[in-house]
Each structure stands twice: as C-alpha cells, then as structure tokens.
Structure 1
Amino acid sequence: MNNDSPIFLGTAGWSLPREHWAAFASEGSQLQRYAGRFAAVEINSSFYRPHRPATYAKWAESVPAAFRFCVKVPKQITHERRLVDCDELLARFLSECGELGEKLGCLLLQLPPSLALDPASAARFVEALRARHEGPVVIEPRHRSWLDAETLLQQARIARVAADPAPFAEAARPGGWTGFRYYRLHGSPRIYYSAYGGDRLASLTERLVEAPKGVDTWCIFDNTASGAAVADALHMQRLLSAHWQAVEKLPTLPLLR
C-alpha cells in the first residue's frame, strides 16, 4: 500500500447486496462484514435523523482500528437552518458522533442547490464549527457562488468535494483546503443508480493515485439505489491493488487501509 497518500475507499452506507456476499466474510453484522473488506464508510442516515451516542460507540467498537467513518451533517443544519442560528444543533450533533472517537474520519456538509454563498453567515458557521471540531471537514456545495469561498475554506482547513455528476464544472475537481481530498460519486448518467464501469473506474483510479504525498484521499460511491456502489468499490479496490503492486512490487492486497 502507498502509505504516503492513504486512500479510504467505501460506499454510502454498509448495506451488502446479496449478489456480492461472496466477497465478504460470512460471519458478523453487515457493518463488521463490510469493514473487513473496505477501509471507510459514509453515514448518510445522520442527515435524516439523529443517532444516540451509544449507537455511534457501538459502531466504532465493531470495526478494525484503522477503519474510518464519514458522518453527514444533519439536514436541519444545512437545509432547514441553512447554516444560520444552528449552534445548539451543531453542538448536539458533534456530541453524538464524537462517540466514534479516533474512528471519526471526517464530517460531510452537503448544501442544497438553492443555497448561495452569503460570506458573513458562512464565516460565522465555519467559526462555530471550528470552535467545536478540529478534525477533517469536507463540503459539497451545489451552488456555483461557493467558488468565492475558496479562501475561507483554505483558512478553515475545509476541503471541497469532487462530485460526480458535478453541479457546475469546477465541482468535478477537489477544491478548498488542499490537505484533504474527497471524491463523492453519485452515479451518472442516472444519479444514485448508474454503475461506473471499467473504463470510468480506471480513469477515477488514476485521479486517486495522483494525490500529493501525505494527503488523505477518500472515494465514496453513493450510487447505492440499485446496488452498483458495492460492485464499483470492489472493482476499484482491485484496480488500486494492481496499481500499487506494479509500482511498489508488493503482493496484491485484499484490503485497503
């Protein structure tokens, strides 16, 4: 494995389609079986409803030491309050997911397409967030005006997601803070459904391995509606292992850590 630029590969959620069960251990919970194969997962359910601190703690206890979770910030904060007057909600959310401990890999802020950048409110929210949380944060804005927030994001160490499909051209590439990269692949042309296929996965693999040394890179497949995410992640895992085997002359690795 290339330890200079760690790659955390996984899917949105840890549901395992029956047709791919053979690729995972037969024993354990779905999360345990999933974590035996992949290095990371994105928790999307936190966007819709809160989880008890004990639930986060249980999840953390059930996965290997090197496994990492990305937790999506609740829609109450991003879509309903639209980043304004949400300090109490933010504090509660961080207290809950903080039970993941060192296995909390990053937070994901996905903004609604209608939310244009308001520099003053964005700065206040970022200040409130950073006063409570020092770990990696990624943001997925879907309004092009957020390109004007690059300086704010860099100063606050918040990376901008590289999304597919991209809501605007620049969103296809990583932005914001350069010390962290997060590729969020929703499926295209049919969002949440379409599989990526061999050629596109090979191209994506090339983008992942070009990350600068020391920069953690995440790749999360969110095309889960028809089960394509797991298949795509397994395929990319093979491509990455083959790449590292060729470059570093190491045996092919079954797991990515």
Structure 2
Amino acid sequence: MPTRLLSSSPVLVGCAGWSLPREQWPAFPLEGTHLQRYSARFPAVEINSSFYRPHRPATYAKWADSVPTGFRFSVKMPKQITHERRLHDCEGQVDEFLGQCSQLREKLGCLLIQLPPSLTFDNTQAEDFFKALRDRYQGHAVLEPRHPSWLAPQALALLEKERIASVAADPSPVPGGDQPAGWAGVRYYRLHGSPRIYYSAYEDAWLQRLTVLLKAAPDTPTWCIFDNTASGAATPDALRLLELLGDLNSHRWPVRP
C-alpha cells in the first residue's frame, strides 16, 4: 500500500478515532485496516476508547507498528482517574495507564486529560496529581477543563509550571475555553461540532478562519482534532482542513472508480 507523504505543516490534524464513514471511503486507500487506511491521509489520531476501557500493551504496540513513521497518537486518560477518583490518590492507575500506552513508543504524541464539569480547581490536589504525572511522563500533555475555575490565574500558573496546555475546545462550556491557555509549548484544538455538539459539520468559512489561527504559531506543535464523529462529519471536515493547510496539494489518492 502506498504511504502518505509526511506533512509539511506543523499541525497534526486528525479525528477522535479512526473509523471511516463509508461515504468517505473513496478518499482513502482500498487496502489495509481502518487505521492503516486512515493513517495514509492523516498525520494523527486521538484515541478516545482508552477513556472507557484499558487496552493491552500489545494492542498499543500493534497500532504503532501499523502506521507511518511520522504518525502520532493522542491518548485520552481513563475516566477512572479523571471522573471517578477525580485526580485524587490515583498514582497506581496512572502507572497502569502509562504502562499500556507507552507501547506506542515515539508515536505517543500527547496525553489528553478531560475533566468532569463538576471538578473544581483545588491547587493542592491538582499540584499533587501533575507532579505524580510528571514524575512518570515527560511528554506533551493537555487538559480539557469543563469548570471555569481551571482557567483562573492560579490554575493557569500551575499548568504553566507543569508544562500542561489547556485545550481550546469548540464549543467550550467555560468562558475563554475556546482559546489555547496554560503552557504555550503545545496547542491542542478539540472541535466537538457546533451548534449540535458531536453532530454538526463546520462551515467552510469557519474552517478557513481556523486555518489562519493554526498557521499563526508555526514553531509550536499544534494538534487539531475533530470530535464531531456522531454523524460522520469529522472525516470530511479534517480532510478539508488539511487541504486548506496545503497538505494535500502534492499528493492525492485516486478515487474509487
């Protein structure tokens, strides 16, 4: 199977999961697993299933071996850590999670920590959690807070200290949550679909404005993940964004006859 040319853009565009809607199949190679076909066009993916259930280390290793060299995975932290234990006394669960997803090796590009809306910022609890995480993992990590207290100055100062970026979400449940914040060493846009979350496709004019934002910091590693997967809108939206960024101009797959 042919391989995708590595992106010339610093933006890692992808979807939340690599399921390919049938109507989009002509845009991808005909052969291979869904992940192999997906990775022929996209440089990154966000693994959401890890939030709900653990995956064996061998599964992560298999995924890593099936994608091109420059491909990167973002992995969502389990809800047992974020929603059940609520970042408290969860070092054992963090060890277990990292022991699994670390089998992605150099293709582990980022950890996504999504918090429940009811979890307010507590400096001591947050500092203990991030310190425990950083003792074990030094790579990129981003936080998707859903309570406004996590965007207060004290919380943002802690994120900066621990090198944790705050996700720019659309739509955001908190004021200011649609803009990158926290540590500026990585940016992570997470697009859920608007006005109908998880379903709505983005208009082309909106994607064009997004393209300008994504190109504004060319030296900063930037992720852009489409999570509007419920109606299959994520895949065409992400393909269109890659086109706007210029990644598809030099290499296109032949469409199915």
Give the letter aligned to residue 50 of structure 2.
S
Partners of 2:83 and 2:115 within 8 A in 1: yes
Matching residue's letter, 1:218: W
Partner of 1:222: 227
Letter in 2 for 1:154: E
Aligned to 2:177: 171
Given the alignment of the two structures, is residue 20 of structure 1 paired with residue 17 of structure 2, yes or no? no
Unaligned runs of 5+ in 2: 1-5, 253-257
Moved over 4 A (4+): none
Shift of 1:222: 0.1
- Given that residues 37 and 254 in structure 1 are in contact (C-alpha distance below 8 angstroms), is that contact kept between their aligned partners in structure 2? no
1:40 aligns with 2:44: yes
2:242 to 237, 244, 257: 237
Instruction: Determine whether 1:60 maps to 2:57.
Output: no
Deviating more after overlay: 104-113 vs 142-151 = 142-151
Native 8 Å contact 2:7 2:43 kept in 1? no
Q: Which residue of 1 aligns with 2:190?
A: 184
Residue 183 of structure 1 aligns to a residue whose secondary structure is strand
Q: Identical aligned pairs, as a percentage?
A: 62
1:254 counterpart (230, 251, 256): 251
Q: Which of the two has greater helix per residue?
A: 1
Per-residue displacement from partner, 1:162-204 (whole Å, max 9, x unpaired)? 0000112210100000010000000011000000021111111
C-alpha distance in structure 2 between counterparts of 1:158 and 1:171, whole Å: 15
Query: 1:201 is matched by which residue type in structure 2?
Result: L
CA–CA distance in 2 between the matches of 1:138 and 1:8? 14
Tell me the amino acid that sits aligned with residue 62 of structure 1: S
For CA contacts below 8 A with separation 6 or more, give which structure has more relative contact order: 1
Task: Indicate the residue corresponding to 1:248 in structure 2.
Answer: none
The alignment's TM-score, normalised by the length of structure 1, stands at 0.93
- Give the TM-score of the pair, scaled to structure 2: 0.93
Compute the displacement of 1:41 (Å). 0.1
* Cα gap change, 1:100 to 1:165, in 2 (>3 Å): same
Q: Distance in 1 between matches of 2:251 and 2:88?
A: 45
Equivalent pair of 1:56/1:97 in contact (CA under 8 Å):
yes
Distance 2:172 2:32 in 1: 37
Alignment of 1:103-118 (within 5 A): 103-118=107-122
Unaligned runs of 5+ in 1: 245-250
Match of 1:199 in 2: 205
Aligned residues: 245
Instruction: Give SS of 2:112's match.
Output: strand
Q: Which residue in the other structure is 1:247 paired with?
A: none
| Match in the other structure for 1:122 | 126
C-alpha distance in structure 2 between counterparts of 1:252 and 1:128, whole Å? 44
Q: What's the CA shift for 1:2? A: 8.2
> Can you list the C-alpha shifts for 1:132-189, whole angstroms capped at 9, x where unaligned?
0000000000000001311111111110000000112210100000010000000011
